[in-house]
Amino acid sequence: MKVLVTAKRVVDYNVNIRVLSDNTGVDLNNVKMSVNPFDEIAIEEGVRLREAGKADEVVVISIGVSACQEQIRTALALGADRGIHVETDVDVQPLAIAKMMHAIVEKEEPGLIILGKQAIDGDNSQTGQMLAALAGLSQATFASEIELGEDTATVTREIDGGLEKITVKLPAVVTTDLRLNEPRYASLPNIMKAKKKPIDTYTPEDLGVDPTPRVTTLKVEPPAERQAGIIVETVDELVDKLRNEAKVIS
């Protein structure tokens, strides 16, 4: 069975985001970029399935600018077998990404598609669901455990009320939650091997997809700065401030 996983290029989660002076977006100059953390979990799960003998090949896909090949190489160093890069300079949005992935799914015919449940830049949590709808596949979102059977996958899902276990027919789309696994670190030998692994390159036009954004960002603003706290001397002073200044008690 072939497993298709994703590796979106995002600003590293340790970086303090800076907004451009004209409020049109985020300043990406000289900023460290990484694989989306939820996609790292997807890559790790695909590699574990192959190591367990439940998958034959792990293929990683990234959609975006030419620099996305850096994230594909990272995924290959983590154990993926080959990469697919859909190159575009357009700021692609979830629906366009799902359409491109649908075209790749039709070409590759994977038995399982694993995506991060969301990207830490847009936080949309839409692509996996859209892909499942476009491809007519079963879906299991927010997975914290995956067990593969002959032609089914039993997935434990993180939901508001706790955990839910469902069984879906393969091929299926699964999106990862944080507790699914802990991604490994790439070893130096694997980093060197990754340089020789193949990456196929397409454009949106090759896949018959128009990547033009459908949503326009009007303005980007940083969150309001948090005011400094104060130290009170007594409980009575605390209660007074909560009642008369914060208005949280009456």
What pLDDT is recorded for position 229? Answer: 85
The whole domain housing 167 covers: 2-222
- Residue 42 resides in a domain: yes
* Confidence (pLDDT) at 202: 97
Residue 26 confidence (pLDDT): 86
In a domain, 166, yes or no: yes
Residue 139 lies in a domain: yes
Quick check: is 96 in a domain?
yes
Please name the residues in contact with 185: beta carbons below 8 A apart, sequence gap of 6 or more: none
Residue 204 carries which DSSP code?
Answer: T
Name the 3-class secondary structure at 58.
strand
- Comparison of pLDDT for 18 and 183, the residue scoring more: 183
Q: What is the pLDDT of residue 21?
A: 87
Give the contacts of 142 (CB within 8 A, at least 6 positions apart). 117, 157, 158, 159, 175, 176, 177
Strand partners of residue 167:
154
Provide the whole-model pTM: 0.87
Q: Which of 209, 198, 202 is nearest to 87 (CA)?
A: 202
Q: Could you tell me if residue 179 is inside a domain?
A: yes
pLDDT exceeds cutoff 80 at 247:
no
Q: Is the pLDDT of residue 248 over 80?
A: no
**H/E element, 5:** strand 2-6
Structural domain includes residue 237: no
Within a domain: residue 230?
Answer: no
What's the pLDDT band for 17 if we cut at 50, 70, 90?
confident
Number of domains, the chain: 1
CATH code (residue 196): 3.40.50.620
- Summarize pLDDT for 39-60 with one digit per residue, the tens: 999 999 999 999 999 999 999 9
Q: Is residue 156 in a domain?
A: yes
User: What tokens were used for 53?
Assistant: 């003998």
Q: Work out the percent of the chain whose per-residue pLDDT is above 90.
A: 78
